Amino acid sequence: MLNKQAASDALELLTPAEMAEADRLTIGFGSSGLTLMQAAGKAIAEAARRMAGDGDILVLAGPGNNGGDGFVAAASLRRAGRRTRVALLGGRDHLSGDAALAAAAYDGPLEEIGPDTDYTNALLVDALFGAGLTRDLDGVAADAVRAMNASGAPILAVDLPSGIDGRTGAIRGVAIRATRTITFFRLKPGHLLLPGRLHCGAVEIAQIGIPESVLTAIRPSTSHNIPALWSGRLRTPAPGDHKYARGHVFVVSGPAHSTGAARLAAMGALRIGAGAVTVASPADALPINAAHLTAIMVRPCENAGELGRLLADPRPAAVVVGPGSGVGSGTRSNVEAALTSPAAIVLDADALTSWKDAGEALFARIAKRSASVVMTPHEGEFARLFRIEGARLDRARWGAKESSAIVVLKGYDTIVAAPDGRAAINSNATADLATAGSGDVLSGMIAGLLAQAMPAFEAACAAVWMHAEAGKAIGRGLIAEDLPGAIPAVLRRLGPALSH
């Protein structure tokens, strides 16, 4: 777990534009751009010393402020007696402002990046381009990136590996594969979104004198999905609780040949803390579900009318529709029945695909509700329902706003987005979670937290993070049935965080 200060530093994510605003506000408070650059350069130098050991250091400097940071770092390293040289992209006459001042203060070996640049036998400090890159790399810059990657040398990236878009995590032509990245003040979305995250290596946040008060003015709407975001809203059992006080979750089962997904969702809901869970089961599936379930109740439910009557009971606090239910009019009718109930709703899998040609009608129904709706699509389901292209974070936000629902866009970099523009990016997933039924457990976990009256955005974020932690605890060989049993240990580890 992160300590309190580290969690604070890692919580808000700043886009490149927001980071530029943070710099501007700091300068307005009486600092200077050069002061910030000098602080950044010293932090880079310290990280480079740790990585390089006794070896040589080559700083690759670009024409902007990222290159200026590199010049400051090189000067600091040379003053500390480290063998350091700088290779500059373009001539000194391309530098301006604070970067030019930083270059003027550097008096060590300087060369221009070109075909003869030697990238071997040194730690490479990538200070070419930072998070604000908005074009594809080409020409000499692209050749330098390829040569650095091919050198086999360790690479310390400054701010973000050159070639990664700080807002989207996309590769702009070609990108550095860093061993480690040092960034400043706050993480950027590109540190967490794929494929950018895979290029960063371990990421270190350095504080360079930007006051946290700038966040009040900037009001960032993107967060890192860590417990600091939602742990204060996570309910713990109270001495006076009874099972319905902890929330009752209904999970709609599929037919006899497709019951496992609903049971996985039901187990996820129960393990995350719901006081009671009921599987609403078609008649042909009743014996199968009853034979597999003990702590989870089973109720007959043949159609949408019966589901509506079950959910009319004020005790069901949340309902999951979709896992294993089949694509078609029956599932659409079950969704409609759930939407007329007072329960919070999680729509997953077949419940989403069943509306692939009628998304606007679904969204109009959701918009009329006061209770929460959470949708949990993977990329394919999202594309079928929303039919929009673009960067992953943008699409998740658009989908949430368009649908009036919380959207959990699943993947290795799962994004949780709310209709009000908030979004959180998850970073603790394991590839072992890419197995059948894993998403069904997640849907149940979200419903279990909703049933405990956790706000929908925070419930989705918490479930995504805990689901990933459970997956990491199991590791290789994970199957979906393992996940519910791993949840209690995750909750126990959260205990100290919840006490603060």
pTM higher than 0.85, yes or no?
Answer: yes
107-137 pLDDT per residue, tens: 999 999 999 999 998 999 999 999 999 899 9
Q: What CATH topology corresponds to 227-498?
A: UDP-N-acetylmuramoyl-L-alanine:D-glutamate ligase (3.40.1190)
Q: Is the pLDDT of residue 445 over 70?
A: yes
Average pLDDT, rounded, for the chain: 95
Identify the H or E element spanning 487: helix 482-498
- The rounded distance, in Å, linking the Cα atoms of 99 and 172 is 23
- The rounded distance, in Å, linking the Cα atoms of 48 and 74 is 10
Structural Rg of the chain based on CA atoms: 26
209-222 pLDDT per residue, tens: 999 999 999 999 99
How does residue 237 score in pLDDT terms, banded at 50, 70 and 90? confident
298-350 pLDDT per residue, tens: 999 999 999 999 998 877 799 999 999 999 999 999 999 999 999 999 999 99
Interior CA angle at 122 toward 118 and 123, to 5°?
120
Question: Could you tell me if 63 and 95 are in contact, meaning their C-beta atoms sit under 8 angstroms apart?
Answer: yes
Q: Identify the residue whose tokens are 């070109």.
A: 114
pLDDT at 115: 95
Q: Is the pLDDT of residue 5 over 70?
A: no
β-pair type (180-184, 202-206): parallel
What 8-state DSSP symbol labels residue 224? E
Q: How many residues does the chain have?
A: 500
**Using a CB cutoff of 8 Å and minimum separation of 24, what contacts does 486-492 make?**
487/268, 487/271, 487/272, 487/445, 488/271, 490/466, 491/272, 491/273, 491/466
The strand pairing partners of 155, in sequence order, are: 124
Interior CA angle at 425 toward 409 and 217, to 5°?
125
pLDDT at 244: 84
In our burial notation (b when 16+ CB lie closer than 10 A, e otherwise), range 7-37 reads bebbbbbbbbebbebbbebbeeeebebbebb
Q: What is the CATH number of domain 4-220?
A: 3.40.50.10260
Q: Is the pLDDT of residue 431 over 50?
A: yes
Question: Could you tell me if 10 and 226 are in contact, meaning their C-beta atoms sit under 8 angstroms apart?
Answer: yes
Contacts of 104 (CB under 8 A, 6+ apart): none
Domain boundaries, the chain: 4-220, 227-498
pLDDT at 4: 60
142-158 pLDDT per residue, tens: 999 999 999 999 999 99
Q: Is the pLDDT of residue 3 over 90?
A: no
Omega cis (within 30) before 377: no
How does residue 238 score in pLDDT terms, banded at 50, 70 and 90? confident
- The rounded distance, in Å, linking the Cα atoms of 316 and 297 is 13
Average pLDDT over residues 97-116: 97
Q: Is the pLDDT of residue 400 over 60?
A: yes
